[in-house]
Amino acid sequence: MNLKKRSRRGSGEMHTSAMNDIMFFLMLFFLIASTVTNPNVVKLVLPKSSSGQSISKKTINVSISKDLKYTIDKKEIAVTQLSDELTKYKSQAKELTIVLSVDKTVAIQDVVEVMDIAQKLNIKLVLATVAK
């Protein structure tokens, strides 16, 4: 008489050899795709010119304090002189960018005045912020 209990459970196995092949092909695909999308893959040697002009790019810092004191590159100026000072900087550099730092308590109208002056002079303007 056979008194041993028979186990009716099957053993669970998973074959991962096919999964390794799939992961390898996915990795290979993404490596090839990333080199195609990178714009720095094509190296170009640009020609030289003796009559070429360099484009000067300059960034100036304009700040407005909570007391409505305007400064351009650590030099305090009156709001009425702001347009004249920016015109001087614009004549020195072809491409000028203003980094505008404003105290958070300053009214938006004062910020818009600086933005209007930059727009009239065709100067790019970037508003400085602090990361959260």
| The pLDDT of residue 84 is above 70 | yes
Please give the backbone phi and psi of residue 52, each rounded to the nearest 5 degrees, phi first. -70, 150
Its sign, for the CA torsion 49, 54, 55, 59, is positive
Residue 26 lies in a domain: no
Residue 18 lies in a domain: no
pLDDT of 38 above 70: no
Q: Which amino acid is at 85?
A: E
DSSP string, 49-78: -SS--PPPEEEEEEEE-TT--EEETTEEE-
16 assigned to some structural domain: no
Split into its structural domains, the chain has a count of 1
Residue 5 lies in a domain: no
In a domain, 81, yes or no: yes
What pLDDT was estimated at residue 24?
92
Residue 98: beta bridge partners?
60, 125
CATH code: domain of residue 119: 3.30.420.270
- Looking at per-residue confidence, does 51 or 78 come out higher? 78
Report if residue 34 sits inside a domain: no
pLDDT-above-70 percentage for the chain: 73
Tell me what the pLDDT averaged over the chain comes to: 79
Q: In terms of residue numbers, what domain contains 98?
A: 57-127
Is it the case that residue 41 has pLDDT exceeding 50? Answer: no
Q: Distance (Å, rounded) from C-alpha 105 to C-alpha 53?
A: 43
The pLDDT confidence band at residue 119, using thresholds 50, 70 and 90, is: very high
Question: Looking at residues 37-61, what average pLDDT do you find?
Answer: 60
CA distances from 69 to 26, 57, 109, 114, 131 (A): 58, 26, 14, 13, 24
In a domain, 36, yes or no: no
Q: Does 39 map to a domain? A: no
| pTM beyond 0.75, yes or no | no
Rg of the Cα atoms in the chain: 32
Which has more confidence, 35 or 20?
Answer: 20
Using 50, 70 and 90 to split pLDDT, how confident is the model at 113? Answer: very high
